Structure 1
Amino acid sequence: MRKINNFLNKKIIKSLVAIIIISTLPACDKSPSEHLQGLTEDKYPVANMPNEPLETPLEINIEPKRLAMTSSWSAGVKDDGTLWTWGTDGLLRDTKTGQDPTPRQVEGVNDAVAVSGDGSHMLLLRKDGTVWGWGSNRYGEVDPNDDDTFIEELRQIKGISDVVDIEADTYASIFLTKESKVYYLGSNQWHILKNVDKDKLDAPFKISGLKDISRIEGSSGYILALNTQGELMTTYCIKNAVKVFDSDSNEICNIPFEKKVVDFAQGVADFALLEDGSVWSWGQNFNGEAAQGKTNGEIDIPTRIKGLSKVTNISSFAANTLDGQLYTWGHYLIGESPEPMASSMRRLHEPILIKNDIEVSSFSSNAYIAGFTTKNGGVWFWEGNRSGQRGTGEVVDTFYEEYVFTPEKSLFTLN
């Protein structure tokens, strides 16, 4: 159940650790332990690549976010600038039941550039640099001047303009402008702004000390930002990080690497892809979130992930290699999942191979659902589909391994 956020050691945990309730599982042909044993290295081999660098160094990934998911619906932006949605609730269009697992166009939007989602709200970036949001508004992440906790229509976010990158996370909206300035809107209950004595911000707040930024990711706990020189900056200073800015409101550190960072991802654990195709991670690893084996704790400093090399694209849960291999890690729900939920968790402490011959352009994920777009405009999903988030035209309420770890092509495409 990836990216449902709590906090530990001042960091947002983007995974709700599922409680294993084996005794409440309904009767079925196989026991839970037999289902879990179905995950074998023969079917899903563990990454075991030699430590070899890419022959041609990678460039910084500035691919726009074209696919987004919340815990109940998904959205995508096509090449022609139209916005499409599918799933349950938050669809910005009328349905008979509030649910539609088939991707359909949202009327009135033909100038979309990017979309980002997490938790239960989404952000939409338009060609004119304005940002629009919908969904959860509990901490004013869409409209701090509206007391409604859920915004059902597209609403422009005031106080921000000339935006080139967006990031939606639980209780948080983050913006990067064309002047490389980073702004934050949403919850401050975990003091992402150190000396701002408010749980909810009234307007987007500039994060001082972040300069020449090309990409952002973040949450209501901390922000990661990559500058144009390939240096990874953070508002949460980890061990061995170098402080480059400190003020009453913000503390900015540089996370040192020997080579240029070209891609990164924030999650329970954080990840950096270097120009040589190596992947490094740090942060929590109780359930394999950092893909560093069974360490049962925190990874204090960036550590290279063994067995992964010649990687060209990453997220906090997956990696794609130059030869088209797709690997994933972390924890996944396995077994039947009726209401109330009764399920087991499968912990993947090392990257496992789930698909070959795929060329990822960008990843996206949320609770129960993981997905990616491809270079040829395809959209794929794996993990869950309880609310129709895969966009295949059907709802599938199952968490068996064969379904969870099988990427499935969506009806939605980018072109």
Structure 2
Amino acid sequence: MKKILLLALLLVASKNHAQECVDRVVCSDNSVTVYLLDGNTLTWGQNQFGQLGNGTTVATISPTPTVNADQWASVSHARMHTIALDHDGNLWSWGNNDVGQLGNNSTASYSYVPVSTGSGSDWIEISGGNLHSIGKKADGTLWGWGNNGAYELIMNGENFYANPFQISPDTDWNKIYAGYFKTFAIKYDGTLWGRGRNNLGDVGIGSTVWVPFFTQIGTANNWTKISAARCNSSFGLRSDNTLWAWGINENGRLGDGTVINRTAPVQIPGQWKDIASGNFHTIGIKTDGTLWQWGSYGWFDGGIPIPITNVPVQVGTDSDWKSVSAGYCSSYAIKENNSLWSWGYNGGGWLGDGTTVSNYTPEMIMGCTQMSSSDWLSGALTVYPNPTRDIVKWNTTETMSTFRIVNALGQTVKSGDARSGELHVSDLTEGIYVIVLESSSGKTQQTKFIKQ
């Protein structure tokens, strides 16, 4: 019986260990999707228009499997709607649809589940903005649908479009970004182009005149990434790792040391490898792997953003950060070990930690605890009884000082002093967990156990 149980546990471990490792994270105002290294996706957050696509309007405060979790090659959360590409190049959408932003030839107010746009299977890139969506096809053409009241799609057209249509005759578009009533795109030659609402200079052409057609922004030809999905601030990275910002600068969210709006890109000091803009704050990672933030720090207390800084301020001392994403007042970052961390305002459970408690500093919500079957056979760590209801004890090759208990989603659910050699787990829900023990020298041992 023990051999059968051990074999079953090993099979579960080999199936689930990759699910704890995060590849990338995308978010909108308050909806989040995480891509796992095993190809599956998890989602949580705001859902009043069905933007999570799970058939309900119920918000979730913990990562839950996305509908058809292994189907999605790309997901983009807009303000209140979501668009996605499956692995066959088909375009899907769900959530709010009052101005046709789902692109399914309808202006029905919403869809709680993914609906096909029926617009071909040659889509390769998508981006959701405030009330509009854009996509790129395999032939390099750029398409759009949804709101057009600010020229974010075309000049002299309708106020909105319920079907994807080509919004530029050019076929050399490389990367695309739908922003807040504006659209940006980078061509294969590295030049940056933009259009749409520009009353605060957030298109970046040097004025506050609205831009009804794609216009080149400056003369640089080494742009690599744009972040402009929130409010009226825009940020861009260049291939030389320089960071540039323009648009509204309320609360110092541009990070240039002032609160002056900028109508053209201004350089932010430092060497950067990733950037993400929220509604009131900005986060970035420098090339040395350190994490920085500025603006209002991304969360509210009594309706007031706190604290405020108009220059980048380092977050902690770690230097192993890999990528960032920003929500309305929340922040997300992935480390080189593929663990996911979140911080900021959490009034609706948007941080994904299972609570509604806001955090100033990053806390890990998904780890990347990987273990092969050899760990079970080596005898390096033995836990008993296994399965257990109340208590777990362990035998190790050396004295351990701390422990972590990690659930199947990679979330640390319990931690503390390990020197007693045992742990009460009666408060854990039924399931499979990983126990990670660390010695004073920094060495770790880990194994899995079943909580009944």
TM-score by length of 1: 0.71
Partner SS for 1:235: strand
**Residues 70-126 of structure 1, C-alpha deviations (whole Å, 9 max, x = no match):** 44432222233323222343444478x924322121343423112111311112221
**Residues 22-65 of structure 1, C-alpha deviations (whole Å, 9 max, x = no match):** xxxxxxxxxxxxxxxxxxxxxxxxxxxxxxxxxxxxxxxxxxx9
What one-letter code is carried by the residue in structure 2 that aligns with 1:86?
W
2:72 to 84, 100, 112: 112
Show the counterpart of 2:276: 315
Show the counterpart of 1:129: 89
Contact 2:100 2:145 in 1 (8 A): yes
Is 1:289 paired with 2:253? yes
2:310 to 342, 345, 349: 349
2:224 to 262, 266, 283: 262
Show the counterpart of 2:291: 326
Determine which structure has more spread, i.e. the larger CA radius of gyration.
2
Is 1:233 paired with 2:188? no
Higher normalized contact order (CA 8 Å, seq sep 6+, divided by chain length): 1
Cα distance, 1:262 vs. partner?
2.2
What one-letter code is carried by the residue in structure 1 that aligns with 2:334?
T
Per mean C-alpha deviation after superposition, the further-off stretch among 118-127 and 158-167 is 158-167
Partner SS for 2:177: strand
Cα distance, 1:175 vs. partner?
0.7
The CA distance in 1 between the partners of 2:284 and 2:30, in whole Å, is 24
Contact 1:66 1:113 in 2 (8 A): no
Cα distance, 1:218 vs. partner?
1.7
Is 1:299 paired with 2:262? yes
Show the counterpart of 1:383: 344
Contact 2:299 2:345 in 1 (8 A): no
The CA distance in 2 between the partners of 1:80 and 1:117, in whole Å, is 21
Contact 1:286 1:295 in 2 (8 A): yes
What one-letter code is carried by the residue in structure 2 that aligns with 1:294?
T
Cα distance, 1:194 vs. partner?
4.4
Cα distance, 1:319 vs. partner?
1.6
The CA distance in 2 between the partners of 1:194 and 1:216, in whole Å, is 15
Gaps of at least 5 residues in structure 2 are 1-22, 197-202, 369-408, 411-452
The CA distance in 1 between the partners of 2:247 and 2:28, in whole Å, is 23
The CA distance in 2 between the partners of 1:196 and 1:375, in whole Å, is 47
The CA distance in 2 between the partners of 1:148 and 1:139, in whole Å, is 9
TM-score by length of 2: 0.65
Equivalences for 1:3-402 in 2 at 5 Å?
66-89=24-47, 90=50, 91-93=52-54, 98-143=58-103, 145-219=105-179, 221-235=181-195, 238-239=204-205, 251-258=213-220, 260-266=222-228, 267=230, 268-296=232-260, 298-306=261-269, 309-316=270-277, 317-332=282-297, 336-337=301-302, 342-396=303-357, 398=358
Gaps of at least 5 residues in structure 1 are 1-64, 242-248
Contact 1:77 1:112 in 2 (8 A): no
Cα distance, 1:412 vs. partner?
7.2
1:411 to 340, 363, 366: 366
1:258–1:188 Cα change, 3 Å: closer
1:344–1:190 Cα change, 3 Å: same
Show the counterpart of 2:375: none
Cα distance, 1:411 vs. partner?
2.8
Contact 2:235 2:246 in 1 (8 A): yes
1:334–1:288 Cα change, 3 Å: same
Cα distance, 1:360 vs. partner?
4.4
1:160–1:372 Cα change, 3 Å: farther
1:121–1:373 Cα change, 3 Å: farther
Per mean C-alpha deviation after superposition, the further-off stretch among 192-201 and 163-172 is 192-201
The CA distance in 2 between the partners of 1:131 and 1:361, in whole Å, is 29
The CA distance in 1 between the partners of 2:221 and 2:91, in whole Å, is 34
Partner SS for 2:315: strand
1:323–1:344 Cα change, 3 Å: closer
The CA distance in 1 between the partners of 2:99 and 2:253, in whole Å, is 27
Number of matched residues? Answer: 331
Partner SS for 2:160: coil
The CA distance in 2 between the partners of 1:82 and 1:116, in whole Å, is 15
What is the identity percentage for the equivalent residue pairs of Structure 1 and Structure 2? 23
**Residues 232-279 of structure 1, C-alpha deviations (whole Å, 9 max, x = no match):** 1222564469xxxxxxx9622222355622222225222222222221
